[in-house]
């Protein structure tokens, strides 16, 4: 699957392109080397490779993140039920231990690959790549990646997805975006889930949840829904349809997309000024990276 992307050829030579590796020699056999590389650049590189796989097959890849039990798998079950006749879908399931979620998906007649992460609290691009080798992307419209339930770690690892979705379920409380800014800032779409519980959890204020999100400088849409009752599902399905259409258009034009705030990876660092040990240029993310949307 990977022999055509040319990734292997460039990886060994990449350091020649880097602004890093610049030596500032001092007299005593010591040297200061300015590197200026993202700490996760190896992961970001693999993520770019995954993204090429998705684009080569015209698949929209969507990464679902939330705290444990917010309803990611339940949302996928409802989505498969509603769109099964319209789109070909598959799911990559990240979980610390069990195959339970993959089995729930397979029960709906959709292919699911389980990644048991063991003690790792997040998926990374290499794990997803391994999973891709157990999955045929041919003919797929959407690949969902259900990340490990965790509001912290998954936000730091680009998997090669085109879009990030963060779920916030009503029982968690409406101030979660203020408590987990890195995660909610990463979302291209925030889904307020389990809205059927709003009558019971009366102190949850959807308006406050949205205000917390906006205070993170996020203009991403926030949609409220309940996969349990089907309430609000239409808006989510419409968003997905739009994204599938947008991905098809991009693929036809040879373009790609990345989540709005994902860093540009190695390409970004090539634009950074050379020389000084600590330039003012942004590193991971930052103003330059936000230009990387579609």
Partner 1 sequence: MHEYSVCLALMEQVERVAREHGAGRVERIVLKIGPLSGVEAPLLQHAWPLVAAGTLAADAELVTETAPVVVRCTQCGAESEAAPNRLLCGQCGDFRTRLVSGDEMLLASLELARIDEVKASCV
Ligand X SMILES: Nc1nc2c(ncn2[C@@H]2O[C@H](COP(=O)(O)OP(=O)(O)OP(=O)(O)O)[C@@H](O)[C@H]2O)c(=O)[nH]1
For partner 1, what does the binding mask look like between residues 101 and 140, x meaning CB under 8 A? -------------------xxx-x----------------
Tokens of 223: 């949609």
24/130 with CB nearer Zn ion = 130
d(CA 256, CA 54): 9
d(CA 77, CA 69): 14
Token pair 């409802």 in the structure block, residue: 78
What residues contact 208, with CB distance under 8 A and at least 6 apart? 174, 175
CB 78 to ligand X: min, Å = 8
154/259 with CB nearer Zn ion = 154
Residue 121's binding partner among Zn ion, ligand X, Mg ion, none (Cβ under 5 to 8 angstroms by kind) is Zn ion
Residues 53-72 that bind ligand X (CB under 6 A): 66, 68-72
Q: Dihedral (C-alpha) 197, 199, 202, 208: value to the nearest 10 degrees?
A: 70
Tokens of 263: 């860093």
Tokens of 105: 């998906």
d(CA 34, CA 274): 8
146/264 with CB nearer ligand X = 146
Residue pair 203/225 in contact by the 8 Å Cβ criterion: no
Among 1, 2, 17, 35, binds partner 1 (CB under 8 A): 35
For partner 1, what does the binding mask look like between residues 218 and 237, x meaning CB under 8 A? -x------------------
Q: Does 258 bind partner 1 (CB under 8 A)?
A: no
Residue 2's binding partner among partner 1, Mg ion, Zn ion, none (Cβ under 5 to 8 angstroms by kind) is Zn ion
Residue 170 DSSP code: G
Residue 21's binding partner among partner 1, Zn ion, Mg ion, none (Cβ under 5 to 8 angstroms by kind) is partner 1
Q: Summarize as ranges the residues that interact with Mg ion (CB under 5 A).
A: 72-73, 101
């Amino acid at each position: 699957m990977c022999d055509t992307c040319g990734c292997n050829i460039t990886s060994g030579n990449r350091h020649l392109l880097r602004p890093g590796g610049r030596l500032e020699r001092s007299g005593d056999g010591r040297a200061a080397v300015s590197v200026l590389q993202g700490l996760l650049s190896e992961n970001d590189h693999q993520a770019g490779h995954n993204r090429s796989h998705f684009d080569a097959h015209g698949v929209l890849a969507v990464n679902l993140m939330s705290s444990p039990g917010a309803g990611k798998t339940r949302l996928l079950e409802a989505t498969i039920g509603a769109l099964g006749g319209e789109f070909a879908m598959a799911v990559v399931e990240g979980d610390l231990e069990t195959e339970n979620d993959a089995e729930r998906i397979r029960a709906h007649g959709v292919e699911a690959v389980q990644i048991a992460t063991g003690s790792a609290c997040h998926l990374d691009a290499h794990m997803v790549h391994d999973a891709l080798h157990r999955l045929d992307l041919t003919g797929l419209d959407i690949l969902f990646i259900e990340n490990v339930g965790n509001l912290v770690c998954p936000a730091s690892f680009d998997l090669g997805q085109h879009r990030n979705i963060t779920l916030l379920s009503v029982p968690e409380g409406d101030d979660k975006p203020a408590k987990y800014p890195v995660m909610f800032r990463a979302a291209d779409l925030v889904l307020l889930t389990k809205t059927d519980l709003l009558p019971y959890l009366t102190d949850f204020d959807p308006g406050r949840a949205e205000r917390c999100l906006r205070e993170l400088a996020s203009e991403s849409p926030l949609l409220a829904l309940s996969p349990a009752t089907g309430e609000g599902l239409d808006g989510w399905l419409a968003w997905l349809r739009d994204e599938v259409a947008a991905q098809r258009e991009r693929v036809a034009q040879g373009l790609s997309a990345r989540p709005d705030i994902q860093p540009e990876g190695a390409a970004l660092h090539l634009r950074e000024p050379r020389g000084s040990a600590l330039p003012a240029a942004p590193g991971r993310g930052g103003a330059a990276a936000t230009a990387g949307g579609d």
